[in-house]
Chain A
């Protein structure tokens, strides 16, 4: 067992964990933070994306012991006093999800993009979400929501984006 101390969504936790415990399992099974889902076993889907010390990571590809002394933000730590962030509201209002399984990871990845690039173009949004798979929406409304959250016109994110990507 290895002793770790991690700040997750503003709360400090101290635990003894097996070194092989994945951060995703620590969040879900030990801390009960099931807002971060696990979608695959191959580091591909990005559903389990969280923020680790200011940068996104796939929490299935990080050991809990590697997060010792770090700050983790999950999708559950974004809203303040029940108030959704602009990005979360945009996902809600623009129907950027169907089954919702990929949504926590999509939101964490999009949040990471907007921190670095506050007004991304549609193609930049798509590249930033390369590590996050959605099997329902076809991505159109997700791209639209990210553009809306950055205060941009969402009308040009549909067909036009598809064409830009093909080009």
Chain B
């Protein structure tokens, strides 16, 4: 379908973008790579009066280090995230999960910030950034603020971004030395995850000292498998991991859709958590 008509502006700075958003009240949408927004516009599930195209703001692109933190510009494409040596070294989980996002053409355009701001619990990267204990830096009319990933995802397709705010940076504490794995269960190559599990494991003397587990598509937001994480601390060997993974769906409210029932998703969360944690434990 052809999108409904909208006004279009292409600001050249973050300040200019924020001013355009503020002036539009509730009626504007931010366009970054467009790989989530354009399908919505085409299906007329979104019909903003104004589209603010931030795609040409160079300051929003790129990866840098800030002490123990990796800072990724919101406009950095999936393609660039995948090939970035700093990401590979300090946030391997993000690279591994990004490799599973859609297909090469979509990864050329789609951006890390865009997929987080879209706040789709079926998207792969929200659960990953949640598992990495990431922080999101947001620019608004009164300056910048930092939101923890756990507070950023509010509900289905709803983030903590106010209508006049723009996501500008993603800050990820470095996870050098942690084992990681993203286990995605989907029907065909470019389909959404029916369930996905992002696992991070820090080992000490062969045992799991600390584990973090992010869940994709197990509720209206990405979630942490808190009970499983707790049970994984100190786990020694595959049997202990399997027992802990049985707790992966605790506290979740998995959705019902054409792909799967809540019961099936609960089953998947347990199986995939076991696989993801074991893979993360072996791979370092």
Contacts and interface: CB of A to CB of B under 8 A. Distances in A.
Interface range, A side = 20 to 34
Interface in B82-112: 102-106, 108-109
Interface stretch (A7-15, A61-69, A80-88, A148-156): A61-69
A19 B190 contact: no
Given A46-B103, A56-B105, A61-B106, 8 more contacts: A18-B5, A43-B106, A46-B105, A55-B79, A61-B109, A62-B109, A63-B31, A131-B103
Interface residues of B, number: 30
Nearest to A46: B105
A18 B2 CA distance: 11
Interface in B4-53: 4-8, 10, 31, 34-35, 38-39, 41-43, 51, 53
Contacts of A18: 5
B55 interface: yes
Contact of A63 (B38, B102, B105, B106): B38
B158 to A, nearest CB: 22
A155 B3 CA distance: 46
A139 B124 CA distance: 27
B253 to A, nearest CB: 27
Given A43-B35, A131-B190, A58 B53 contact: no
A112 B43 CA distance: 28
B139 to A, nearest CB: 22
A66 B28 CA distance: 17
A146 to B, nearest CB: 13
B104 A128 contact: yes
A57 B102 contact: no
Interface string A108-120: 0100110000000
B209 interface: no
A46 B190 CA distance: 11
Contacts of B103: 46, 130-132
Interface of B: 1-8, 10, 31, 34-35, 38-39, 41-43, 51, 53, 55, 79, 102-106, 108-109, 189-190
Contacts of B10: 65
Contacts of B4: 20
A138 B105 CA distance: 21
Contacts of A55: 79, 108
Contacts of B79: 55
A109 B104 CA distance: 8
A22 B42 CA distance: 9
A19 B102 contact: no
Given A2-B8, A19-B8, A46-B103, A130 B190 contact: yes
A61 B38 contact: yes
B108 A57 contact: yes
A58 B1 contact: no
B10 to A, nearest CB: 8
Nearest to A65: B8
Interface centre among B2, B51, B105, B190 (most CB of A within 10 A): B105
Contact of A112 (B5, B104, B106): B104
B150 to A, nearest CB: 30
> What 10 A-B pairs have minimum CB-CB distances, sorted nearest first?
A131-B103, A19-B8, A130-B189, A55-B108, A20-B3, A56-B105, A130-B103, A61-B38, A131-B105, A58-B105
B108 A131 contact: no
Nearest to B37: A61
Contacts of A16: none
Nearest to A20: B3
A130 B100 CA distance: 11
B101 to A, nearest CB: 11
20 contacts: A20-B2, A20-B3, A20-B5, A20-B6, A41-B42, A42-B39, A43-B106, A46-B105, A55-B108, A56-B104, A57-B108, A58-B105, A61-B35, A61-B38, A63-B53, A66-B53, A112-B104, A113-B104, A130-B103, A130-B189
Contact of A44 (B5, B104, B190): B190
A61 B2 contact: no
